[in-house]
Amino acid sequence: MTEFNRRLFLGTSTAAFGLLAAPAVMAAAHGKPRVVVIGGGAGGATAARYIAKDSDGAIDVTLVEPSRTYFSCFFSNLYLGGFKEMDDLGHTYGVLASKHGVNVVHDWAVDVDPDGKMVTLAGGSKLPYDKLILSPGIDFVDDAVEGWSVAEQNKMPHAYKAGSQTELLKAQIMAMPEGGTFAMVAPPNPFRCPPGPYERVSMVAHTLKANNPTAKIIIADPKEKFSKQGLFQEGWNKHYAGMIDWIGADFGGANVSVDADAMTVTIDGEETKVDVCNVIPAMKAGRIADMAGVTDGNWAPVNAIDMSSKANADIHVLGDSSQQGDMPKSGFSANSQAKVCANAVRGALTGSRVFPAKFSNTCWSLIDTDDGVKVGATYEATDEKIAQVDGFISSTGEDSATRKATYEESEGWYSGIVADMFS
């Protein structure tokens, strides 16, 4: 498996020389310091790219990711709405390897030995590390929704990891009978992308309005309120009047079971036959975080200053898996955290300058054609957590030019973050 051999760094030898002369804290025992990143998504790809790029070959970076193509969850709702093609969402790892010298290994990490500082891959190989970065995204909590398990995901897709699940959900929506019912079981807090389920409802409604205008959407929600609720509900009334029925916790939305064979959803004792059922279960950190021993309950607590695990100073946890404080679980957040982490890890391994942690997030959502909204905030590190500093949200009743500009901006953001992860 030559893939596992560390790459020689080409074309940057002079720069690398300069850096090797700098105080290389960890270099003594085994040559170059080694960073292993598990998960090539918003957090992991960004961290690998920044550490490799900015250390100019002074650090050996290995990225472990099973998929050869990363399909972003961000903008996957727009695929359901017909605004994007699946191909628009797929990104590959070639440039990380060829331009930045990241050793990309397409395999699953199946175990972490924190004492021996070693990662084991499904293929059997072992990867030693000085610093380990985990950004494995989310997994689902077992038995979170009565009647649903991952075994049912072909009948009742979650589409909360993008790719084939998203395509399946779209195909089911397109195959709905005239006047049929689309049901969503929304997740409890905290979960990946707080506006995600509601942007999804908007996009499903957009598709149904064009193809199946008498169809209905019901949402069973265990929460009493949700992200950007005022903006979404205003938009639903405006664009999809009478189509969407949101059943929050106050009306029994938390009391839900499903039957995947009978295609029924029971909300607060009332059974409904549905044509599509999108179950988004409660979430937890990607499983490998458990194996690394860094979780406490469902998530992995981290120190805000550098995203290092509270359980192990040599393991950093980014993105959805981390429990950090005030930031929402978003691609933008994961990307932001990755850059703070990369700066700190590089500093620890090569003595490069370490700057104060600053984080930010903005989440755009599309409600209908050219009707985009956004919410965002900036954050800083305190001893206790990542704490919000400032924030904003789109207002209801904004003019159409502002909403269109907001949507166009979200397209710019997508190109930007993808370039920041993979280019």
Partner 1 sequence: MAKTPRLLASAAALFLAVAAQAEPDLEAGAKLFSKCTSCHQIGSNTKKRVGPNLNELNGRIAGSIEDFPYSKSMTKAGQEGLIWTNETLDEFLADPKVYIPKTRMSYRGMKDPEDRLNLIAYLNTFSANMASHSAGDPHDLDPAILALVGDKEYGEYLSGDCKTCHQADGSAEGIPPITGWPVDDFVYVMHAYKNKDRNHPVMQMMAGRLSNEEIAALAAYFADLEE
Task: Name the site residues for ligand FAD (rule: CB under 6 A).
Answer: 38-44, 64-67, 70, 73-74, 76-77, 108-109, 135-137, 160, 192-193, 196, 200, 286, 288, 318-321, 329-332, 334, 363-364
Tokens encoding 363: 């989440």
Distance CA 326, CA 360 (A): 11
Contacts of 285 (CB under 8 A, 6+ apart): 136, 138, 139, 295, 298, 299, 300, 317, 320, 321, 322
Distance CA 76, CA 160 (A): 9
CB of 146 to partner 1, least distance (A): 39
CA angle, corner 248, sides to 169 and 262, nearest 5? 45
Contact residue for partner 1 among 72, 103, 153, 343 (CB under 8 A): 343
Q: Which is nearer to partner 1, 21 or 28 (CB)?
A: 21
* Residue 65 binding: pick among partner 1, ligand FAD, none (C-beta 5-8 Å cut-off by kind): ligand FAD
CB of 3 to partner 1, least distance (A): 27
Distance CA 63, CA 107 (A): 10
Q: Which of 138, 170, 169 is nearest to 153 (CA)?
A: 169
Q: 257: which strand partners?
A: 146, 266
Distance CA 46, CA 417 (A): 9
* Residue 246 binding: pick among ligand FAD, partner 1, none (C-beta 5-8 Å cut-off by kind): none
**Per-residue string for binding with partner 1, 51-70, x by CB under 8 A?**
---x----------------
Q: Which is nearer to ligand FAD, 33 or 41 (CB)?
A: 41
Note whether 394 and 235 are within 8 A (CB): no
Contact residue for partner 1 among 7, 40, 47, 50 (CB under 8 A): 50
Note whether 285 and 302 are within 8 A (CB): no
Strand ranges inside 175-223, DSSP E: 181-185, 216-220
CB of 332 to partner 1, least distance (A): 6
**Is there binding between residue 75 and partner 1 (CB under 8 A)?**
no
Contact residue for partner 1 among 391, 396, 397, 422 (CB under 8 A): 391
Q: Which is nearer to ligand FAD, 163 or 248 (CB)?
A: 163
CB of 243 to ligand FAD, least distance (A): 20
Contact residue for partner 1 among 134, 362, 381, 422 (CB under 8 A): 362
> Which range, of 55-63, 151-159, 265-273, 355-363, touches partner 1 by CB under 8 A?
355-363
| Residues of this chain, 122-161, that bind partner 1 according to CB under 8 A | none
CB of 75 to partner 1, least distance (A): 13
**Is there binding between residue 88 and partner 1 (CB under 8 A)?**
no
* Residue 244 binding: pick among ligand FAD, partner 1, none (C-beta 5-8 Å cut-off by kind): none
Report the SS3 class of residue 33: coil
* Residue 400 binding: pick among ligand FAD, partner 1, none (C-beta 5-8 Å cut-off by kind): partner 1
- The pairing of strands 109-113 and 118-121 is antiparallel
**Is there binding between residue 390 and partner 1 (CB under 8 A)?**
yes
Q: 309: which strand partners?
A: 302
Strand ranges inside 263-418, DSSP E: 264-267, 270-273, 276-279, 283-285, 300-301, 315-317, 322-323, 358-368, 371-381, 386-393
Report the SS3 class of residue 149: coil
Q: Which is nearer to ligand FAD, 74 or 148 (CB)?
A: 74
CB of 390 to ligand FAD, least distance (A): 18
Note whether 35 and 338 are within 8 A (CB): no
Note whether 169 and 282 are within 8 A (CB): no
Residues that bind partner 1 (CB under 8 A): 50, 54, 332, 335-336, 339-340, 343, 353, 355, 358, 360, 362, 370, 374, 376-378, 389-392, 394, 400-401, 403-405, 408-413, 415-417, 419-420, 423
